[in-house]
Amino acid sequence: MTTHQIPLLIEPEQLKQQLEQQHDSLLVVDLGKPETYAKAHIPGAIHLDYPQIIAIQKPVMGLLPDENTLSQIFSSIGLTHDMHVIAYDDEGGGRAARLLWTLDAIGHKNASLLNGGIGAWYNEGHPTDTVPVEKTPSEYLATINDSPIADQQYILTHLNDSTVALLDSRSPEEYRGMKKFAARAGHIPGAVNLDWFNVMDQSRNMRLKPEAELRALMEERGFTEDKTVITYCQTHHRSALTYFVLKFLGYPKIKGYPGSWSDWGNNEDLPIEVE
């Protein structure tokens, strides 16, 4: 398996084989908590602090940083356009998936998610390191490509469009308006709820559920491959993982909503639904 054949969702055993081949074109990025990284990380993995890859304009959180900021961040970790990124975290894949969505948003082609993250890697006996890794900085030029991005205006324009479906990745309590983390509670009109926890398999070290189960979760909620599916949560952290799941399943038209409910729910002019 060369770096060109690395699957979108890579298993720990497959990554171990890749690392043994010592590919210069492989960049393993740890988005777990700094203290977790200090205790145990995959040998050669560089740590990237999650707040670096999001922008905040209070009360809106989880926005996409601008091109200049993204260029600086990716240059600082030594990323080049021909590298294959393997992302992982310590929380079920949300932070790692947000990095992968960000890479989609700048058109970086080669990137994968480590299934189960550091938990699966560690619990299944693969080697870890405690020494921080520093990469030689590169000159990475990030150019934002809008196709994986849905903003407020795009969603508003497509609210009554039967070819567009909204996937709300928050908890049922947030979706129904019972928990409020913005000026208003509820969900975007027409959105269907799929709690991000439902795509994880806790019995298999927080891997994603098997492909057939994931496909059933989507299809029974009306998320079919002929539709443009937009994922959102509170900030586009949890929904980055459901975006990744759709990508893994081969859905051709998928978008993530940076800012998500912190953007929509804090704007009094936008319509909402409460159950």
Q: What does the angle CA 174 – CA 87 – CA 226 come to, to the nearest 5 degrees?
A: 60
| Mean pLDDT across the chain | 96
With b for 16 or more beta-carbon neighbours within 10 A and e for fewer, the 159-172 pattern comes to: eeeeebbbbbbbbe
Classify 223 in phi/psi space as left (phi over 0), alpha (psi -120 to 50) or beta.
Answer: beta
Sign of CA dihedral 249, 196, 71, 137: negative
- Alpha-carbon distance of 260 to 53, in angstroms, equals 16
In this predicted structure, the answer to whether residue 124 has a pLDDT above a threshold of 60 is yes
pLDDT recorded at residue 2: 53
Looking at the structure, give the CATH architecture of the domain made up of residues 3-123: 3-Layer(aba) Sandwich (3.40)
CB 241 within 8 A of CB 266: no
- Alpha-carbon distance of 8 to 115, in angstroms, equals 10
In this predicted structure, the answer to whether residue 191 has a pLDDT above a threshold of 60 is yes
What pTM, to 2 d.p., does this model score? 0.97
- Alpha-carbon distance of 97 to 249, in angstroms, equals 14
Burial class (CB in 10 A: 0-12, 13-18, 19+), 136: exposed
Q: Determine the average pLDDT of the residues in 245-273.
A: 98
Q: Which CATH number fits the domain 152-264, given the four candidates 3.40.250.10, 3.40.1160.10, 3.20.20.70, 2.40.110.10?
A: 3.40.250.10
pLDDT recorded at residue 23: 74
For residue 232, which of 108, 60, 71 has the smallest C-alpha distance?
60
In this predicted structure, the answer to whether residue 185 has a pLDDT above a threshold of 90 is yes
Q: Determine the average pLDDT of the residues in 174-201.
A: 97
Looking only at the bridges linking them, the beta strands covering 200-201 and 164-168 are unpaired
In this predicted structure, the answer to whether residue 3 has a pLDDT above a threshold of 60 is no
Active site residues: 233
Tokens at 124, concatenated:
């299944």
Question: Helix, strand or coil for residue 99?
Answer: helix
The CATH 3.40.250.10 domain(s) of the chain lie at 3-123, 152-264
Q: Determine the average pLDDT of the residues in 166-174.
A: 98
pLDDT recorded at residue 5: 85
Q: What are phi and psi of 53, to 5 degrees?
A: -100, 10
Looking at the chain, the whole-number percentage of residues with pLDDT higher than 70 is 99
pLDDT digits (tens, 9 = 90+) for 204-251: 999 999 999 999 999 999 999 999 999 999 999 999 999 999 999 999
For residue 172, cis peptide bond before it (omega within 30 degrees of 0): no
Can you give the length of the chain in residues?
275
pLDDT digits (tens, 9 = 90+) for 29-56: 999 999 999 999 999 999 999 999 999 9
Looking at the chain, the whole-number percentage of residues with pLDDT higher than 90 is 95
In this predicted structure, the answer to whether residue 4 has a pLDDT above a threshold of 90 is no
In this predicted structure, the answer to whether residue 21 has a pLDDT above a threshold of 90 is no
